[in-house]
Structure 1
């Protein structure tokens, strides 16, 4: 397996927040993610507490992510991670992640890779009082990945394990 700089194979997308004082930007039908929407999910995020309008999307720094893209928290609760079940916009406390080439790297494989890399990522955070990661943090991450068929096998096994609950003896 080859080793790559994470940012060379994964597109890193910054989010934003429409102006909360402009009512026309809010209570629309576009799901808008904040960390609270996915910090406690098992794998997928299905809904958001807040919604924005198309006008809010077009007049702010927020971006749309696609179904199966990854969302990761970058401030406060660092490293909360989820896969989107449908298109959603997101705020500036998060990064959207998507493979630059789905024929060589699957988003779900990237999700599991990061899930295991979170502890290291937390050590690489910037800022001492209010921990954050920024786009340069992703330049420090190295990722290696096998061919697509092997990624699919790994995903299948990890998805099965992800769905299991571990019981402990009383």
Structure 2
């Protein structure tokens, strides 16, 4: 059996883009410094790049599923315009304290700190958790990584490319 490919699981808000509080409109999209360069660096190092993001704004009624998906597509497109390739996006719209009935869930398996999005990506894309990493800005990201058997690295802001270069020893 061939070993799976390594993946870089990337949180969206606070890692790839500035967390402006439930971003979902094009005017709210601001890439973190070094984000596109960091993703290009991960691409060049052979990592499959996967966004894994909690999006409780859907459950809270702040925006709908279509707006969330359109914004995620815009993030991917904006990175691609600078040569950075995202292979997949997994987003969890569920939250226990939601106001939209269809998205209220007490503890959805995809909602970080649960590892569901990472585990689904591993299964659907033939990834190797032992050679993968997660970059997130919250303790819930680190817990999801640990529960999925992936090394987690907490990004606390600044230049994402410098952070990734240090991780990779570049």
TM-score between both structures, scaled by the size of structure 1: 0.27
- Structure number with the higher helix fraction is 2
TM-score between both structures, scaled by the size of structure 2: 0.27
- Structure number with the higher strand fraction is 1
